[in-house]
Amino acid sequence: MNTATDFKDYYSVLGVSKTATPEEIKRAYRKIARKHHPDLNPGDEEAEAKFKDLNEANEVLSDPEKREKYDRFGQHWNQPNYTQAPSPRETNAGNTGNGFDQYGDFDSFINDLLGRSQRRASSDGFRSQAPAPDTEAAIALTFSEAFHGVQKRLQLDTDTINVRIPAGATTGSRIRLKGKGRPSPFSQERGDLYLTIELLPHSFFHFVGDRFVCNVPIRPDEAVLGAEINVPTPDGSVTMKVPKGLQTGQSLRLRGKGWTLPKGGRGDLFAKLQIVTPQDLNVIEQECYEKIQAKTSFNPRIHLEEIKL
């Protein structure tokens, strides 16, 4: 009786009744296959297992002859003395007998029914010699790791894969690892692993599209008169000339101080300047700003005077 637990109820796998028509079985199969098909759920072992059961159920129940045998077997399997149970079809009973006692368990019955050899039952018979599909994975890197290049360990299911990421990767960069993908459920061969790079946010640098950008604050007097200021770059601080009359939001390009380029060499760094006003003025600053205010001829709102709706 303990083998009775091996019995698979193919009707419940397909979610149909024991009296389902072939059409109903086909519809039920397609509906569930849509959800669990391995080509649509790469790397999902649960879906793969469900799809295997589903296919097995369909293979048996969509074939009238196999379905009939399965029905008889299932009926008898559930009875204590199944070997002696009468066949539901008188005509078949005579020549074949029940004969189910020759099977040690349900699997060997099914393998025999589907014409599969004993131990090869695990892989789905159909299917071609075609190479395995590729596997998608991703890894998140800090700006520093991506800029300098890094050796990383990647966990893919039960495998640990060592991967060297060359300097200059950015968000969306793809690295191909040949033959490191998951085994195909159809052939057990491995496809390639495609690794997509993600960059974790940095407190100072960021990307705007392809541009490697940083925001740099400057004082009003630096913006008005021009100045030399220090700006951080991936290699450390450099001195940058700010031209006089700079507007807030303007960017200055630091040639060759940007991101590592895939072909070698370096891109540019764009420093976006933001004018910030001092909050605590000393006496002299206060005096000077007041003087400017009293004497200035600059009116940035002159073109606003005529505006109304």
Partner 1 sequence: MNEVLSTNHSSSLSTMVVSLEGEQLYTFEYAASMTETSITVVQVYVELGVIEPNGIMLHSREITRIAQIQRLRQDLGLNLVGAAIVLDMAQELAQLRARLKAHQSQPTI
Instruction: Give the nearest distance from C-beta 80 to partner 1 in angstroms.
Output: 39
Question: Is residue 49 involved in binding partner 1 (CB under 8 A)?
Answer: no
Site for partner 1 in 126-185 (CB under 8 A): 126-140
Site for partner 1 in 203-242 (CB under 8 A): none
Q: Which lies closer to partner 1 via its Cβ, residue 71 or residue 136?
A: 136
- Of these, 18, 30, 89, 244, which contacts partner 1 (CB under 8 A)? 30
Question: Per-residue x/- marks for partner 1, 102-131, CB under 8 A?
Answer: ------------------------xxxxxx
Instruction: Give the nearest distance from C-beta 124 to partner 1 in angstroms.
Output: 10
3-state secondary structure labels for all residues of the chain: CHHHHHCCCHHHHHCCCCCCCHHHHHHHHHHHHHHHCCCCCCCCHHHHHHHHHHHHHHHHHCCHHHHHHHHHHHHHHCCCCHHHCCCCCHHHHHHHCCCHHHCCCHHHHHHHHCCCCHHHHHCCCCCCCCCCCCEEEEEEECHHHHHHCEEEEEEECCEEEEEEECCCCCCCCEEEECCCCCECCCCCCECCEEEEEEECCCCCEEEECCEEEEEEEECHHHHHHCEEEEEEECCEEEEEEECCCCCCCCEEEECCCCCECCCCCECCEEEEEEECCCCCCCHHHHHHHHHHHHHCCCCCCHHHCCCCC
Q: Which lies closer to partner 1 via its Cβ, residue 43 or residue 220?
A: 43
Q: Which stretch binds partner 1 (CB under 8 A): 75-83, 189-197, 213-221, 241-249?
A: 189-197
- Of these, 196, 215, 250, 251, which contacts partner 1 (CB under 8 A)? 196
User: Applying CB under 8 A, which residues contact partner 1?
Assistant: 30, 33-34, 37, 39-43, 55, 126-140, 186, 191, 194, 196, 198, 200-201
